[in-house]
């Protein structure tokens, strides 16, 4: 019964490491700058119309 305990601990450590790595990646990409602008309204108005 010792092996499943270590597998659970290793899985938990891996999950935490992946979560922290993801957060760091998002922060790095956000730090690079650039404004988040919405899509132009004229492009959205053409959705659903037949041409």
> Could you give the CA distance from residue 16 to residue 9 in angstroms, rounded to a whole number?
11
Answer with the residue of higher pLDDT: 40 or 29. Answer: 29
As a whole number, mean pLDDT of residues 12-34 equals 92
Residue 44 has pLDDT above 60, yes or no: no
Mean pLDDT for all residues in the chain: 83
> Could you give the CA distance from residue 37 to residue 39 in angstroms, rounded to a whole number?
7
Q: What is the pLDDT of residue 12?
A: 98
Q: pTM value?
A: 0.58
Q: What is the pLDDT of residue 50?
A: 57
CA distances from 23 to 14, 20, 44 (A): 14, 5, 31
């Amino acid at each position: 019964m010792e092996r499943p305990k270590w597998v659970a601990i290793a899985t938990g450590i891996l999950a935490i490491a992946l979560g922290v790595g993801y957060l760091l990646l998002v922060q790095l990409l956000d730090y690079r700058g650039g404004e988040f602008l919405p899509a132009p309204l004229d492009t959205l108005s053409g959705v659903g119309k037949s041409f």
